[in-house]
Structure 1
Amino acid sequence: MPRKPAAPTTYQEAYRVLSRIALELDGGEADLDRVLPLIEEAQVAYQVCRSRIEALRSALDELAGGLPDPLDDPGDDEDDDSDE
């Protein structure tokens, strides 16, 4: 019985796994008995990618929450005094 590959731990590793699986499945030569293990491996890699993206999005949202909105800049009243 073949051993399951270790789950990727980084976004880059998971992306490589997904790319490799996509190429193998896209080639149309994947043995039917190999398709289910490939899909299971892809699901694990996808979850790693998704969790890393969500963590980054959360960190960026938190950072952006502490920054002033450039569209609400109160010092941008220069255009309002154009009649002088």
Structure 2
Amino acid sequence: MTEPQPTSYREAYARLSRIAAELESGEADLDRVLPLLEDARAAYAQCRERIEAVRAVLAGDWADGEDGSDEDEE
């Protein structure tokens, strides 16, 4: 049974960390590996989406003001 999908970056990252620890321990039952990998893929996708959203905002909104001009100061 898979866990509910994390709703925040922090939750998704924590889920990835737990999965990695379980897989690295070598104690994960073979029948559990596929569900763990599916959960990891979903959590990774959520993290990546949030990171890309932040990058887009930083590249778009913040880059507009980096040329040194301030259009509001006339």
Q: TM-score range by the shorter chain?
A: 0.7 to 0.9
1:36 partner letter? L
1:45 partner letter? A
Aligned length: 68
Of the three residues 39, 59, 62, the one matched with 1:61 is 59
Report the Cα offset of residue 66 of structure 1. Answer: 1.1
Gaps of 5+ in 2: 69-74
Q: TM-score, normalised by structure 1?
A: 0.75
What is the alpha-carbon distance in structure 1 between the residues aligned to residue 46 and residue 66 of structure 2?
32
Runs of 4+ in 1 over 4 A off after TM superposition: none
Report the Cα offset of residue 68 of structure 1. Answer: 2.7
Q: TM-score, normalised by structure 2?
A: 0.85
Identity of matched residues, %: 54
Gaps of 5+ in 1: 71-84
In our comparison, the structure showing a higher alpha carbon Rg is 1
What is the alpha-carbon distance in structure 2 between the residues aligned to residue 69 and residue 38 of structure 1?
47
Q: Give the aligned partner of residue 13 of structure 2.
A: 15
